[in-house]
Amino acid sequence: MTRFANRTRELHLFEQMLRRQVRERILLVEAPSGYGKTGLMGRFEILCSQGIHPVLIDLKGAQAGIAFVFSRIQRVLGKPRFPKFNTQIDRFLNSGVEIQNNRLTGEGSQIQVILDVPPEQRNYRLTQLQQVFFEELERFDRPIAFILDTYNGATEELAGWIESQFLAEVALNPKLFAIVAGQIIPQPTIEWQNLHHRCKLDRIMEREAWYGYVKDVGFDCFSCQEEIDVLIDAVGGVPAQVVLLLEGAARTRQQI
């Protein structure tokens, strides 16, 4: 399990969302590199426990764009649970798409072939696929939490689709939650602006939080808290850098 010095505010808000204690179902997490976004996304996935279907997707690896996201969600939740979506894919593939002239490699390849058409036809097909896909999500037995990491690494088209269409669909279905994290985050649109909360991760300067972290991970080589204070101040409380300094200092002292 990922350990944190202090992200209790964000974790508490996410738990409130899952328990329906707040109206928001979309959480945007913004922070520079090294502030612990990815670790926090992993912790969100764990918090879903048995009551929520978590779907964790790293958008920087989504080179196939929108097709990758559709396919990844299917793989996590189970492709057989999307019969109408799969039928729609087959219908498009059998309606004149020259599959043999396209490269069918990687996740989402068939969907990518379907969308590899002129813009007007592409928009029609994407709309049809999207409508059927989200209709099938409504029939799931449990709520679903989409956890999308590295939004700044998404292709321009994928980022625009998430900001406009994907999050708008999430807003329409009470069973769906979405967490989007990145150095940049989506800009709210009228369809989902009233259902979102924005968190900006800060540096962690709280001494007690770091003392607890050191104890939690078993770094017992520090003789006093002042030694930890020096490391925190040296990098201004940037979480990833503090952790590196603590780990480096611990290794050095163990070798002595």
For residue range 172-193, what is the model confidence (pLDDT) as tens digits?
999 999 999 999 999 999 999 9
Rg of the chain over Cα atoms, rounded to whole angstroms, equals 21
Across the chain, what does the average pLDDT equal? 88
Using CA atoms, how far apart are residues 171 and 162, in angstroms rounded to an integer?
Answer: 12
61 burial type by CB count under 10 A (0-12 exposed, 13-18 middle, 19+ buried) = middle
User: Which residue from 36, 44, 31 is spatially nearest to 6, judged by alpha carbons?
Assistant: 36
Q: Which amino acid is at 80?
A: P
Q: What is the pTM of this model?
A: 0.87
Provide the pLDDT confidence category of residue 255 given band limits of 50, 70 and 90: low
Using CA atoms, how far apart are residues 181 and 43, in angstroms rounded to an integer?
Answer: 13
Dihedral class, residue 186 (left if φ above 0, else alpha if ψ from -120 to 50, else beta): beta
Supply 105's token pair. 């490699």
**Residue 228 to residues 238, 243, 247, Cα–Cα distance (Å):** 14, 11, 11
Q: Which residue bears the tokens 């602006």?
A: 193
pLDDT, tens digit (0-9, with 9 covering 90-100), for 67-125: 999 999 999 999 999 999 999 999 998 875 444 444 444 556 888 889 888 989 999 99
User: Which residue from 142, 139, 198, 146 is spatially nearest to 167, judged by alpha carbons?
Assistant: 146
* pLDDT of 61 over the 80 cut: no
Within 8 A by CB and 6+ apart from 20, the residues are: none
pLDDT, tens digit (0-9, with 9 covering 90-100), for 21-56: 999 999 999 999 999 898 899 999 999 977 899 999
Using CA atoms, how far apart are residues 189 and 120, in angstroms rounded to an integer?
Answer: 23
Q: What percent of the chain has pLDDT over 90?
A: 62
